[in-house]
Structure formats: structure tokens, C-alpha cells
Amino acid sequence: MNHREITQFLSDFELIRERTIVIVDYGNVEKWKNNLGWGVGIRQLAYLIRSLSFGNQALRRFYYGADYGKNEKGTTLVPWSKSVLDTAKYNKFEVVDKRVKYIHDNTNVHGFSKKCDLDVEMAIDLIKNRENYDWIVLFSGDGDLMYAAKYLKDAYGKKCYVFGARGHIGREVMDAKTNGDVADILYAEDFEYRLNPRYEAKMS
């Protein structure tokens, strides 16, 4: 999409944005920087999403791990995790978090790996909120939610857009578009002027 096409796309969304749910899998979005060469800003993301979903804050949902450090009984979030979650709340997202697990891993230079999977929470929330929306915008190139997207389309007529980064789109997502279970795939690169904080700084 070029800038003119994006402007038209967002303009068309004004007619449906009060009936659109946005699911942000921010753990996945963070990884886009490996392909993009820049990181998506939470404030910039929130501003874009207001053009896609407006009104009910519960329909602008942000999923991310709450990292309390290696001590499984710790009660204080590590600074970077607290910053992400606080910024999302400040920008009017409905935040859903889950404690990050530290798993012993001899193959990792730090001796552990971290895990926090929120796919089940996202799928359940999509189903629980189905009476409140007609459209889904999913910020994640991960294909794990395509089963839920297909179910919601077949059973309730819900339509889904997937937003991801080129080179970070799962095969399941591409197949879902081919099969008609996903209306379209949007690419973060095309929206850099809306999502990259450095771009915004250059323009100011």
C-alpha cells in the first residue's frame, strides 16, 4: 500500500470501526524489528488503531508478558516490562498480561529462556466478545489464531485482517488468505510513517 491507499483504507474503516476488535500480540510485534530494522512504537500503534477501532476500549486489546524476573515469587516487574505495560495502559489499551516463565536452558548463553504464550487468552477473548464486533484486526504474523479466525467467520460471519511484517508472516496466515478466512494481510513496512517513532521525530 502507498500513502494514498492507506489513507483511503483508513477512511473506509470509519464506517465499521465501532464494530471492530483489535488484537495486539505485542510479543510478536516486538519481533518484527528483526525484519523491519526498526521497532513499532506503542504510542504510534495506539494512534493508528484509533482509526481502526473506536469507542469501546475493551475492543482494543493488548497482550504481553509480565516479567517479574527469575525469582518465581517476585512481585516487582522488571523495568522494561513495566514500561511496556504502563505505556499500553496510558494509551487506552485493554491490557491482558500473564507472568513470564523462566525455563532452565543449557543452550542459552544466559542459562535460561523465557516463555509467555497468550494465544489461548486471545482466542477466548475473541469468542467471548463476538457479540460486540463484526471485524477483527489482528496485529500478529503468527498463524496460531487462524483456527479461531476460521471458526468465527464460519459460525458468526466475522471478517479478519492480519497485520504483520514481510518475512514474519506464518504459512497458516497466507493459507487463510488464500482460503478466504482472512480478508487481507497488511504490512507494517507500508505503515512505517505511522508506526516508526524515528520517522515521526524526523517529521517534527
In the DSSP assignment, the letter for residue 55 is S
Would you give the DSSP letter of residue 98? E
Q: How many domains does the chain have?
A: 1
**Domain that includes residue 136, residue range:** 3-203
Grid coordinates representing 161 are 485482517
pLDDT tens string for the chain (204 positions)?
899 999 999 999 999 999 999 999 999 999 999 889 999 999 999 999 999 999 999 999 999 999 888 877 888 998 999 999 999 999 999 999 999 888 876 666 555 777 878 999 999 999 999 999 999 999 998 899 999 999 999 999 999 999 999 988 999 999 999 999 999 999 999 999 999 998 754 544
Instruction: List, for residues 119-140, the tens digit of each pLDDT value.
Output: 999 999 999 999 999 999 999 9
Contact indicator for 131, 124 with CB cutoff of 8 Å:
no
Q: Can you point out the beta strands (E) in 100-183?
A: 101-104, 112-115, 135-139, 159-164
Its pTM surpasses 0.85? yes
Q: Residue 156: its pLDDT value, please? A: 97
> Residue 16: which CATH number?
3.40.50.1010
CA–CA separation, 155 and 185 (whole Å): 22
pLDDT of residue 203: 43
